Chain A
Amino acid sequence: MKFLHLVLANLGRHKRRTILTTASVALALFLFASLRTVVTTLDAAARFGSVRRLVSTNATGIVFPLPLSYANKLRGVPGVEAVSWANWFGGRYGDNKRFFAQFAVDPESYLEMYPEISLPEDQKQAFLRERSSAIIGRRLVEVFGWRLGQDVTIQGTIFPGDWTFTIRGIYTPTDAVINDDMLLFRHDYLEERLGRPGISGWYVIRIDDANHAAQIARTIDIQFRNSTAATKTGTEQAFNASFATMWGNVSLLMGTIGLAVVFAILLVTANAMMMSSRERTREVAVLKTIGFSDRTVFGLVMLEAAAIALTGALLGLGGAKYLYKATNFNGGGFLPGFDVTTDTLLLGATVALLLMLASGLVPAVRAARLPVVQALRRVE
């Protein structure tokens, strides 16, 4: 602590350079945390899903529907406890600047299937009673200012026309990876408007025992193998993971960009530290003449690097954590539960530590090894 004022004084020598170096470290760590959080959020979404829930889609592809008549047949499969279904709606609201997902769901079975969608009982009953009603995530209230009882008109794209829903419920997800900006409306309303084609996008099936998942999935797929719409059944986790893989190898891409950014900033910081050290050759010689040991001089230079790296880490990592939390960021609905995890913060702190070592080590060793007489002669 005795040397703190010396470290601070040296950092204040070129205030602009110190501020810019610290800012570049902060920016690098902010980007690192952001990119890694994209990866962890996608991973979490891919991992989301009850081990006791299966999803059955059309074997040809998810965009092809399944007959609604499969619901009863699925209920009859041994080990199946409950069945629900849903349809992607893909509508637009207003100027379509703010995307959000809309799903047509079988209300009673869907809410029972997903206890993670928390809804007050009176609102749930209203949703179950009224065919043209919808429930929305709380974020849509913040984004559009919608309120209970309000009529909202969505323009259909897959199912053309204006679709007006009355908001009867505002749900809160109890699991962060459940999107809080969805609009769920009743599947029977969709059926009615379309002239009862009897289709659903996919089925969600709750089974009695997670250990039977593979066997039950196989039984379902065998059952519909020779029908007009064969099924492809898997665990909910696998279903969600398949969406994540649609992004390509995002983890590798994000990781590579993150590392490239950190490496670039490392060079900037190391260069700044080297410049700062070179400018002070004479002063280091003076300190050694006074009696400062090589170790103390080494420590002083490393402390400067540490001050820059740690301040940058606090600003960058703390900023990322606070900013995304405060703004409730979810990547326009594509990254629900976007939150910088403790693991990411710890990893970021480790990166900052490595940054400190890598940028401070060379100038610190150079300063520590500097022969006094040689340094004085070089300056004079």
Chain B
Amino acid sequence: MALVEIREVDKTFQRGSERIEVFIGLTLDIAEGSFTALMGPSGSGKSTLLNLVAGLDRPTRGSVRVAGAEVSAMRPNQLAPWRARHIGFVFQQLNLLPVLTAYQNVELPLLLTRLSRKERDERIRLALGVVGLEDRMSHYPRQLSGGQEQRVAIARAIVADPTLVLLDEPTGQLDAKSSADVLQLLSRLNDEFKKTVIIVTHDAHAAEAARTVLHLDKGRLIERQGAAV
């Protein structure tokens, strides 16, 4: 069953007088419980696709449906709570608020819920436990390594138990060891916790961790490897 349904999506940007067409009539599905890697050269539209799925950006034409909701038709005031409920997002870098500890960073999505302080505490400890950073809870981002920062960001992305975890080049700034740790963690989230994971990457190792790999080029889906929907 498709969790993400993208239908006939066009996306264009205006840069000065130049009109940049990112997608023209893009159609694809991403299955629930899948681990999908979006690959392609720079400018192929990988990150833009991730932003459309997360409701951070709007298609110029076409529809984006996630978990049955027409994301592309939502108003801004509907998108924020929808994202809080359904999306966990990890950027390539600078994910964490430097003035907050790892614990407080992970707590951020839970501040938008009605959970009690005790319930929030339980969830934060669980999420940090899943990423193996229980002992770094009171550390500030500057006191963590790059890999640890990304794992805290992943803990924050999963702490509210979202429908979909989206990661934009999560290993792009990491060394091989940290990168492997993060990928292993993502596989575990998919296998063990049945999370649907979509990752944008240039990294072939990262793509290997995924069950499905979608190759994009010039805004078109040119190849699908692995499990179909």
Q: Does A289 contact B (CB under 8 A)?
A: yes
Q: How far is the CA of A376 from the CA of B54 in the complex (A)?
A: 14
Determine whether the beta carbon of A288 is less than 8 Å from that of B80: yes
B33-61 near A? 1/0 per residue, CB < 8 Å? 00000000000000000010010110000
Question: How many Å from the CB of B191 to the closest CB on chain A?
Answer: 25
A5-B104, A10-B99 known; A372 vs B56 contact (CB < 8 Å)? yes
Determine whether the beta carbon of B77 is less than 8 Å from that of A290: no
Q: Which of the four size classes fits the interface of chain A?
A: 20 to 34
Question: How many Å from the CB of B215 to the closest CB on chain A?
Answer: 23
Q: Does A64 contact B (CB under 8 A)?
A: no
Determine whether the beta carbon of A290 is less than 8 Å from that of B51: no
Q: Closest residue of chain A to B82, judged by CB?
A: A291
- Contact residues of B between 60 and 86, Cβ < 8 Å to A: 76-77, 80-85
Determine whether the beta carbon of B109 is less than 8 Å from that of A289: no
Determine whether the beta carbon of A283 is less than 8 Å from that of B97: yes
Question: How many Å from the CB of B103 to the closest CB on chain A?
Answer: 11
- Contact residues of A between 1 and 19, Cβ < 8 Å to B: 2-3, 5-6, 9-10, 12-13
Q: How far is the CA of A288 from the CA of B221 in the complex (A)?
A: 29
- Contact residues of B between 80 and 123, Cβ < 8 Å to A: 80-85, 87, 89, 91, 94-100, 104, 108-109, 111-112
Q: Does B156 contact A (CB under 8 A)?
A: yes
Determine whether the beta carbon of A282 is less than 8 Å from that of B94: yes
* B100: chain A residues within 8 A (beta carbon): 5-6, 9
A9-B100, A10-B99, A283-B97 known; A291 vs B91 contact (CB < 8 Å)? no
* A296: chain B residues within 8 A (beta carbon): 80, 112
Q: Closest residue of chain B to A8, judged by CB?
A: B99
Q: Closest residue of chain B to A282, judged by CB?
A: B94
Question: How many Å from the CB of B66 to the closest CB on chain A?
Answer: 14
Q: Which of A6, A10, A12, A289 contacts B83, CB < 8 Å?
A: A289
Determine whether the beta carbon of A293 is less than 8 Å from that of B89: no
Q: How far is the CA of A287 from the CA of B95 in the complex (A)?
A: 10
Q: Does A373 contact B (CB under 8 A)?
A: yes
Determine whether the beta carbon of B99 is less than 8 Å from that of A292: no
Determine whether the beta carbon of A287 is less than 8 Å from that of B108: yes
Determine whether the beta carbon of B97 is less than 8 Å from that of A286: yes
* A3: chain B residues within 8 A (beta carbon): 111
Q: How far is the CA of A291 from the CA of B77 in the complex (A)?
A: 10
* A283: chain B residues within 8 A (beta carbon): 97
Question: How many Å from the CB of B188 to the closest CB on chain A?
Answer: 22
Q: How far is the CA of A29 from the CA of B229 in the complex (A)?
A: 66
Determine whether the beta carbon of B156 is less than 8 Å from that of A293: no
Question: How many Å from the CB of B138 to the closest CB on chain A?
Answer: 13
A9-B100, A287-B108 known; A293 vs B77 contact (CB < 8 Å)? yes
Determine whether the beta carbon of A291 is less than 8 Å from that of B109: yes
* B95: chain A residues within 8 A (beta carbon): 286
Q: Which of B76, B83, B98 contacts A294, CB < 8 Å?
A: B76
Determine whether the beta carbon of A290 is less than 8 Å from that of B89: yes
| Most chain A beta-carbon contacts within 10 A, residue among B51, B81, B94, B99 | B99
Q: How far is the CA of A282 from the CA of B93 in the complex (A)?
A: 11
A292-B108, A293-B77 known, 17 other contacts, Cβ within 8 Å = A6-B100, A9-B104, A286-B91, A287-B108, A288-B56, A288-B80, A289-B56, A289-B91, A291-B85, A291-B109, A291-B112, A294-B76, A294-B77, A296-B112, A372-B51, A373-B56, A376-B91
Residue pairs across A and B with Cβ atoms less than 8 A apart, 8 shown, are A6-B104, A6-B111, A9-B100, A13-B98, A289-B89, A290-B109, A291-B83, A294-B77
**A residues apposed to B, CB below 8 Å:** 2-3, 5-6, 9-10, 12-13, 282-283, 286-296, 372-373, 376, 379
Interchain residue pairs A-B with the least CB separation, the first 3: A291-B84, A293-B80, A9-B99
